[in-house]
């Protein structure tokens, strides 16, 4: 059964985390839509691994200290959590800004804690000629049109939502704007820094994503030493919701391929097992 707990990381910062399953640790990082967007993914991973799913501070009513103002702050906080627990051989799975957080963690992981990345339609880098859609300028209909392969299936009219849920979504967007609004949805230095990240990185991309296109994803994957792009048809920005079976199958394969090798780490640039 999943268990939820609060972990005091600093005197003024606690993390709310849900854990389920046993085995290799997998840190699962949600995007701007909140923890619900990765709940099914966490349940699937928990069948074969230890799924650790935090709520980013400031989402869903959780407190965010005033100093936590950037994606890099979240990346350092999660690395600190992994270090404090003594976890090793960690696979980080991140969706949208969660993928951005995972990438920022990888460039800062000097202790070799991370041994694999799965980035699902991540933002976070600047790619010339492939701008990230201005999410804050879109209404609910616009978000559905750009984010989903099948907008009619997933679009929800805000007028039909309970008032408390609408208020929570507004608070979440306020936090997203603080952390990722300026510069918009990217770290100008990240793309260059990814050239030093040697852990295998699988980038899953919905073919119909128009928040950040598959061409953006191809440039993102190419920036890693060992990066690979896998495009999922009939899916948009959240393929784990639109095409869960295809998404989970790709993640399962990467989970197996990137597990720590008893013989030691691979030399830089050597392909992961199973490729």
pLDDT of residue 155: 67
Beta bridge partners of 28: 93
Residue 220 per-residue DSSP state: H
Beta bridge partners of 29: 94
**Euclidean distance between the first and final Cα of the chain, in Å?**
34
Main-chain phi, psi angles of 248, to 5 degrees = -65, -40
pLDDT of residue 111: 96
Q: How far apart are CA 94 and CA 45, in angstroms?
A: 13
Q: Which residues of the chain have pLDDT under 70?
A: 155-159, 261-275
118 neighbors 204 (Cβ within 8 angstroms): yes
Q: Quote the crossing angle between the two packed helices 163-180 and 71-85, to the nearest 10°.
A: 100
4 neighbors 16 (Cβ within 8 angstroms): yes
Considering only CA atoms, which of 7, 3, 23, 26 is closest in space to residue 15? 7
Length of the chain: 275
pLDDT of residue 264: 44
89 neighbors 83 (Cβ within 8 angstroms): no
Domain positions in the chain: 3-257
pLDDT of residue 158: 65
Q: How far apart are CA 60 and CA 49, in angstroms?
A: 26
Other Cβ atoms within 10 Å of 111 Cβ, number: 10
Place of tokens 């849920």: 165
Considering only CA atoms, which of 2, 6, 47, 5 is closest in space to residue 20? 2
Residue 71, CA atoms < 13 Å, CB-side half-sphere: 35
pLDDT of residue 261: 56
Considering only CA atoms, which of 174, 178, 27, 31 is closest in space to residue 92? 27
Considering only CA atoms, which of 160, 225, 232, 153 is closest in space to residue 196? 225
Structure tokens at 45: 């991973």
Q: How far apart are CA 210 and CA 149, in angstroms?
A: 9
pLDDT of residue 157: 66
CATH number for the domain formed by residue range(s) 3-257: 3.40.50.1820
Q: Which residues contact 229 (CB under 8 A, 6 or more apart)?
A: 203, 205, 214, 217, 218, 220, 221
């Amino acid at each position: 059964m999943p268990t939820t707990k609060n972990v005091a990381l600093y005197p003024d910062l606690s993390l709310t985390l849900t854990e389920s399953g046993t085995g290799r640790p997998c840190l699962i990082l949600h995007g701007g839509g909140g923890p619900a967007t990765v709940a099914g993914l966490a349940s699937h991973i928990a069948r074969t691994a230890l799924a650790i799913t935090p709520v980013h501070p400031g989402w869903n009513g959780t407190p965010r200290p005033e100093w936590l103002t950037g994606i890099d702050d979240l990346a350092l906080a999660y690395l600190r959590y992994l270090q404090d627990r003594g976890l090793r051989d960690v696979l980080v799975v991140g969706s949208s800004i969660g993928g951005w957080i995972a990438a920022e963690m990888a460039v800062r992981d000097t202790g070799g804690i991370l041994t694999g990345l799965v980035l699902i339609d991540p933002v976070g880098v600047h790619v010339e000629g492939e701008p990230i859609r201005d999410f804050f300028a879109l209404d609910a209909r616009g978000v559905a049109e750009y984010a989903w392969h099948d907008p009619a299936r997933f679009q929800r009219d805000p007028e039909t939502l309970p008032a408390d849920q609408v208020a929570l979504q507004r608070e979440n967007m306020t936090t997203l704007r603080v952390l990722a609004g300026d510069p918009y949805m990217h770290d100008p230095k990240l793309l260059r820094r990814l050239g030093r990240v040697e852990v295998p990185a699988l980038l899953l991309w919905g073919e119909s994503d128009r928040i950040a296109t598959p061409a953006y994803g191809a440039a993102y994957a190419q920036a890693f030493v060992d990066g690979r792009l896998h495009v999922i048809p009939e899916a948009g920005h959240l393929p784990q919701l639109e095409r869960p079976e295809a998404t989970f199958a790709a993640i399962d394969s990467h989970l197996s391929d990137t597990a720590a090798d008893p013989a030691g780490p691979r030399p830089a640039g050597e392909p992961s097992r199973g490729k």
